[in-house]
Amino acid sequence: MKKLQERTLGYHGLEVSAIGLGCMGMSFGYGPAGDEQEMIKLIHQAVEEGITFFDTAEVYGPYVNEELVGKALAPFKDKVVIATKFGFNIVDGKMSGVNSHPHHIRKVAEASLKRLQVDCIDLFYQHRVDPAVPIEEVAGTVGELIKEGKVKYFGLSEAGVNTIRRAHAVQAVTALQSEYSLWTRTPEEEIIPTLEELGIGFVPFSPLGRGFLAGKMDDKASFAEGDMRNTLPRYTEEARKANQGLIDLLNTIAVKKNATPAQIAIAWLLAQKPWIVPIPGTTKGHRLTENIGSVAVELTTEDLKEIETASAEIKIVGNRYTEQMEKMTGL
């Protein structure tokens, strides 16, 4: 088992590998689910290569992704950190609006513990802010679960600054998970300074722009049925064509660094703050190894300046979400 560089999330000292593994796409979101045995093999490969931080949620599937992660990581329970999430209603096997009422949070925690085959959830995120439930109640409920030994750390996902502050005042928030990458940079305005001030870690999901920043997805690419990218404005043929400038920039830096565009995109995130831990997802072993390789890529001040200057000239075309999905974020 290799040792990967570690980073700390939050001031209570949750130590994890410098990058984690987002497991959603193994079961959900990008077309047909992967073969269970193959995905277990991939998760085992991640552990072997030094990853200690795994991300799932009850709604991925629903349920099947947590079951997969629980089964795969059962032999490594004391060596890994598993993050999962609450906050949606699931009706007839489909996500049906947000729900962070205290009794619901407790119900989800009990079910997740069983599916993950653990006695305690390492990091429990509110998946999306619920406008019907004051965030203080949510934080208080997770705080109780922490006192009861059922949860270790509390996290938020896609929450705005005001929500983060209010939650943190009741129960320390260890990590915020939100989308952040070279083509989704909104967290830089208010979120990152707030996290720095409060001592909260940042876990960017989709650090490779759902595959786009890996540089293999041109305007002719097509997605499988059931792949969410079929509905997202940023993945239309026109948008992919217009956003190609970002790939050209990553390629330029990659050649200089003897790396791949994906490695540069992740290394750029790692260079922003020492408490940022990206969680790229994949279903392929060689991509996993490639992503882990980004930890060894060092971007100098000059490299970062070059990326900054060049990316400032590139106007990203297409919203990251549909209007309806955007409404479900707390940003």
Are 99 and 49 spatial neighbours (Cβ–Cβ below 8 Å)? no
**DSSP class per residue in 226-295:** TBGGGT-GGGSHHHHHHTHHHHHHHHHHHHHHT--HHHHHHHHHHHH-TTB----B-S-HHHHHHHHHGG
Which tokens in the block code for residue 170? 């009741």
What are the residues whose beta carbons fall under 8 Å from the beta carbon of 213, sequence distance 6 or more?
181, 182, 183, 207, 246, 247, 250, 261, 262, 265
Active site residue 60: yes
Which tokens in the block code for residue 309? 């200057």
Cα 234 from Cα 253, distance rounded (Å) = 23
Which tokens in the block code for residue 171? 């129960």
> Per the residue annotation, which of 11, 30, 60, 63 is the catalytic one?
60
Cα 180 from Cα 328, distance rounded (Å) = 17
Phi, psi of 289, rounded to the nearest 5 degrees? -60, -40
3-state helix, strand, coil in the chain (%, to 5): 45, 20, 35
Cα 72 from Cα 40, distance rounded (Å) = 5
Q: Which residues are catalytic?
A: 60
